Structure 1
Amino acid sequence: MLHTSRMGEWFQVIVPNHWQGKTIESLFRDLWEVPKKLTHTYRMEKKVRIDGEAANWGTPLAAGAKLQLRLFEAEETHITPHFQELEILFEDDHVLVLNKPPFINTHPNDPKQETNTLVNGACFHLLSQGEIRDIRQIHRLDRDTSGAILFAKHAMAGAILDRALVERKIKRTYLALVDGILKQKRGTIQAAIGRDRHHPTRRRVSPTGQAATTHYSVVMEDKQEKLSYVKCWLDTGRTHQIRVHFSHIGHPLLGDTLYGGKPVVHRQALHAAKLEFTHPFTEEKIVCHAPFKDEPDIFKNIDLLTI
């Protein structure tokens, strides 16, 4: 874990030994993989300093030097702040992890008309702390799916985490309650997913769709009710992926009537139970477990720490 601190609009990190000899240019390009346009902004607007002085981007860094980045400037916001109760799983100056309840959209489809989404609540949370900035969601969950969602508090954190998501360095583990007892207790579902041309929101397994891979492991079985609690993790992030894949193998999620699930619970039984990622600036491994929020409980007798 790196030694870091915040000084107003500036973020400071003490250059560690394993950065010795690297340049600021290489940190932006190779370590953080910051997009060229954002990198250009930091260079031209002199938003990087070494020991309080404007930095030379090509000079090798010395261990123990104070690298300072202007990360926390006020910016124009494009999301309407809207107060709501939030369950915060992790927060610091750079990132925010929230436990999304079911029956709320992750982000507004129409920013001017729709204000009661998780993004609007996160924006209000920042504003209440005196942070006048847009919040940036790194991934999303379906409206009726609950669990952990990762947000970035500034542009550079957003860029680094967006890249980490693409490179599968952010691990999301889901818990699903599915119909039936699976014969294979651990396995992988590989089936391309495309749009269903007969339904505006439904997806389906299609040879012409996008490649999709879901890994799963049965956590617990209710043999009396013929139900299975299944842990899932993804190599891809297609819309409705877990829902489509388990319906495809004959075990639809309970409550997921769009894909053939029995309406015995009030929503599709899917919860983003755990989120794991490496912090973009401290190099700390962050692991967040998201408590279940349903009343009555859908996922009974499940220990989150085993997920």
Structure 2
Amino acid sequence: MLNTIRKGEWLEIIIQEKWDGKTVEDIFRQEWEAPKKLTHIFRMDKKVRMDGQAVNWTVPLTAGKRLEIHLFEEEEFTIPPHYQEINILYEDDHVLVLNKPPFINTHPNDNEHDIHTLLNAVAFYMQAKGEIRNTRQVHRLDRDTTGAILFAKHALAGAILDRMLEKREIKRTYLAVVHGLLRQKKGTIKEPIGRDRHHPTRRRVSVSGQTAVTHYEVVKEDKTNKLTYVKCWLETGRTHQIRVHFSHIGHPLAGDLLYGGKPIADRQALHAAKLEFLHPFSEEEIICYAAFIDDPSFFVGIDVYTL
């Protein structure tokens, strides 16, 4: 675990044994796998220091020394701040995890007119705290999907988390309610997903689509109403992935009218219940559980802490 402390606009990192002999270039490119463009900006703008002095990026580091990185400078907002109450599951100087409510988009499609999104609400929250910086979403949830969603508070954290997401090092566990009783209580749906050319937003299983893998396990059955509560976790993050996959196998999500679900709920019954990742700087394991938001809840008798 890294020993770090924020000092104003700078993050101080005590060089650990495993970094001894590595260069700053090695840290950015190998340890953090930061993009070339972002690494170049940190280098050219002298955003990295060693014990208060500009650092040579090619000189080997020594364990115990103090590496300083300029991460927390003010930026002009690219997303206009707009107030909406947010439910915080975890926060520090680098990341923010929220419990997203239903019926709100993750990000605006039009910055001028579309201001009632979660990212606008985060911008307002940051502004109210005096942190004038652009927060970056690491992944997204559909408008009607609720639950844990991860944001990065600065560009380097965003780059590291993007890479972790791409390498499947961020685990997202969802709970869904689907129509019918599944014969197989545990399994994997591996079907490529592409656009439906007959509909502007719908996706479908398509041989020419992108690889999509959904693992699932039955948590509970409601035999009276012929509904199944299913825990799902993803290897990929395709648009509408869980919704498309369960519709494809004949078990659409309850309330999901777009994919064949019945209107027994006012939205698709899908909740991002658990989010797990290693912190991009401290390397601490972060586990966030998102309580059910709907009142009354779709997910009767389910404890998110058991998922």
> TM-score, normalized by length of structure 1?
0.99
Q: CA offset at residue 238 of structure 1?
A: 0.9
Q: Which position in structure 2 is the counterpart of 1:73?
A: 73
Give the Cα separation in 2 of the matches to 1:179 and 1:99.
25
Q: Which position in structure 1 is the counterpart of 2:239?
A: 239
| Structure 2 unaligned spans of 5+ | none
Q: Which position in structure 2 is the counterpart of 1:56?
A: 56
| 1:36 maps to 2:36 | yes
Q: Which position in structure 2 is the counterpart of 1:210?
A: 210
| 1:250 maps to 2:247 | no
| 1:114 maps to 2:104 | no
| 1:103 maps to 2:103 | yes
Paired residues, what number? 307
Give the Cα separation in 2 of the matches to 1:2 and 1:210.
37
* SS of corresponding position for 2:122: helix
TM-superposition CA deviations, 1:75-114 (whole Å, max 9, x none)? 1211010111110000000000000000000000101111
Q: CA offset at residue 179 of structure 1?
A: 0.6
Q: Which position in structure 2 is the counterpart of 1:267?
A: 267
The one-letter code of the counterpart of 2:93 is: D
Q: Aligned ranges for residues 147-158 of structure 1 at < 5 Å?
A: 147-158=147-158
* SS of corresponding position for 1:41: helix
| 1:294 maps to 2:300 | no
| 1:128 maps to 2:122 | no
CA RMSD of aligned residues (A): 0.8
Give the Cα separation in 1 of the matches to 2:193 and 2:18.
43
Give the Cα separation in 2 of the matches to 1:33 and 1:198.
40
Deviating 4+ runs (over 3 angstroms): none
The one-letter code of the counterpart of 2:228 is: S
Give the Cα separation in 2 of the matches to 1:14 and 1:75.
27
Q: CA offset at residue 223 of structure 1?
A: 1.4
Q: CA offset at residue 42 of structure 1?
A: 0.8
Give the Cα separation in 2 of the matches to 1:209 and 1:64.
50
The one-letter code of the counterpart of 1:215 is: H
Q: CA offset at residue 187 of structure 1?
A: 0.3
TM-superposition CA deviations, 1:32-79 (whole Å, max 9, x none)? 011111111111111101111111111111111111000001112110
> TM-score, normalized by length of structure 2?
0.99
TM-superposition CA deviations, 1:94-147 (whole Å, max 9, x none)? 000000000000000101111110000001111111111111001100000000
The one-letter code of the counterpart of 1:130 is: G
Q: CA offset at residue 194 of structure 1?
A: 1.2
* SS of corresponding position for 1:107: coil
Q: Which position in structure 1 is the counterpart of 2:179?
A: 179
Give the Cα separation in 2 of the matches to 1:91 and 1:53.
30
Give the Cα separation in 1 of the matches to 2:150 and 2:37.
23
* SS of corresponding position for 1:64: coil
Give the Cα separation in 1 of the matches to 2:191 and 2:76.
42
Same amino acid, percent of matched pairs: 67
* SS of corresponding position for 2:228: strand
Q: Which position in structure 2 is the counterpart of 1:45?
A: 45
Identify the range of structure 1 (12-21 vs 263-272) with the bigger mean alpha-carbon deviation.
Answer: 12-21
Q: Which position in structure 2 is the counterpart of 1:83?
A: 83
The one-letter code of the counterpart of 2:7 is: M
Identify the range of structure 1 (93-102 vs 13-22) with the bigger mean alpha-carbon deviation.
Answer: 13-22
Q: CA offset at residue 296 of structure 1?
A: 1.1
Q: CA offset at residue 16 of structure 1?
A: 1.3
Give the Cα separation in 2 of the matches to 1:193 and 1:43.
40
Identify the range of structure 1 (289-298 vs 191-200) with the bigger mean alpha-carbon deviation.
Answer: 191-200
Give the Cα separation in 1 of the matches to 2:163 and 2:146.
24
| Structure 1 unaligned spans of 5+ | none
